Chain A
Amino acid sequence: MAKLNVEWINPFIEATEEIIDTVAMIQVKRGNLALKKDSTVAYDVSGIIGITGEATGSIALSFPKKSALAVVSNFTGEDVIGIDNDTTDAIGELTNMIAGRAKKIFSEKNIKLKISVPNVVVGKNHSISTPKNAPSIVIPFESDAGEFAIQVSLMPSDKGKE
């Protein structure tokens, strides 16, 4: 499996901290990074965005139900009682904002990436497909809204370079 330099991970951590703080007014505390060997996510819902360009892979933003409801409620300013279409849509948009912010940080380092529209997967122990041989790094976060995590799976490549 290829190695993934921490410089490919930090923009996603920075973007997650900034976006969750800005749109949901929730300060988060990052836990220890972990290399993940399977594609299963133990949480209840994930927003996933595909990445292409000078790296290929995906970023996923995953929540247990309790954290998802709290974060989405703060984000939308509305009461959220379950993981319905509105909740999954909001999680997709949060993932989109994080990926967009990370893309800008990479752009400032002259690394050009493209991001897809978000997909949202619901269900205990759902899977996130990742490129073959791409390392998946999980970064857990703690907050007053509860725990959540991002999973970054990226394979740097020469494709997309101008």
Chain B
Amino acid sequence: MKIITVDDSSTMRRIIKNTLKRIGYGSDVLEAGDGKEALEVLSNNSVDLIITDWNMPVMDGLAFVKSIRSDSKYDDVPIIMVTTEAAKEDIITALKAGVNNYVVKPFTPDVLKDKIDTVLGKKD
């Protein structure tokens, strides 16, 4: 199970990696600091799940998601957006862009696990 976490905050990348370890998904986690860097990482690595922030410099999460969803080779890769953007219209915008699930910062490990299990089809 390989995951990429995309966030301009190194603190959040560390927190997400530590949380993934706690909930049993932390064995192989790649990192990127913005959407452009993530596309470069993904050009050399295949992943099973993308976890991305929204507000980032260079290429933000929304543009990154749209780029991923325009490429058919990522059709089966679920995307979870983990962001401070918690307004209802923001969540709708992200879902329309192709995000599979949405987590508002700050989050608990249980919430992240629940969202990951859902997008991976591990929930009843």
Q: Which residues does A use to contact B, with CB under 8 Å?
A: 19, 22-23, 75-77, 85-86, 89-90, 92-93, 96-97, 99-101, 103-104, 107, 112, 115-117
The answer to whether residues A96 and B55 also contact, given A22-B106, A104-B86, A104-B87 and a CB cut-off of 8 A, is yes
Query: A107-B87, A117-B57 are contacts. A100–B105 as well, Cβ < 8 Å?
Result: yes
Query: Are B105 and A97 in contact, CB atoms less than 8 angstroms apart?
Result: yes
Please report the C-alpha to C-alpha distance between residue A160 and residue B84 in the assembled complex, in whole angstroms.
20
Q: Contacts A19-B106, A97-B105, A117-B56 hold; do A90 and B11 have CB atoms under 8 A apart?
A: yes
Bound-state Cα–Cα, A112 to B89, Å: 10
A101 to B9, Cβ gap below 8 A? no
Q: How many residues of B contact A (CB 8 A)?
A: 21
Minimum C-beta distance from A143 to chain B (A): 17
- A85 CB contacts on chain B under 8 angstroms: 10
* CA A75 to CA B106, docked complex, whole Å: 10
Q: Once bound together, how far apart are the Cα atoms of A140 and B56, in whole Å?
A: 29
Residue of A nearest to B106 (CB): A23
Interface residues of B (CB under 8 A from A): 8-12, 14-15, 18, 55-57, 83-89, 104-106
From known contacts A97-B105, A97-B106, infer whether A103 and B87 are also in contact, taking CB-CB under 8 Å: yes
**With the chains together, A23 CA to B108 CA distance in Å?**
9
9 more CB-based (< 8 A) A-B contacts, given A104-B87, A117-B8 = A22-B106, A76-B14, A76-B15, A92-B9, A93-B9, A96-B9, A97-B106, A107-B88, A115-B84
Q: Which B residues lie within 8 Å of A97 (CB)?
A: 84, 105-106
Smallest beta-carbon distance A89→chain B, Å: 5
List residues of chain B with CB within 8 A of the CB of A86.
10-11
Of A76, A90, A93, most buried by chain B (CB within 10 Å of CB) is A93
Q: A76-B11, A76-B14 are in contact. Are A96 and B84 (CB under 8 A)?
A: yes
Which B residues touch A99, using CB under 8 A? 84
Given A19-B106, A22-B106, A23-B106, A101 contacting B86 (CB threshold 8 A): yes
Bound CA span A117–B61, Å: 12
B15 contacts across to A, CB distance below 8 A: 76
Question: What is the bound-complex CA distance between A76 and B86, given in angstroms?
Answer: 22
Contact assessment for A103 and B85 in the assembled complex, using a CB-CB cutoff below 8 Å: yes
| A96, B11: Cα distance in complex, Å | 12
Bound CA–CA A101/B88 (angstroms): 12
The distance in angstroms between the C-alpha atoms of A23 and B12, with both chains bound, is: 12
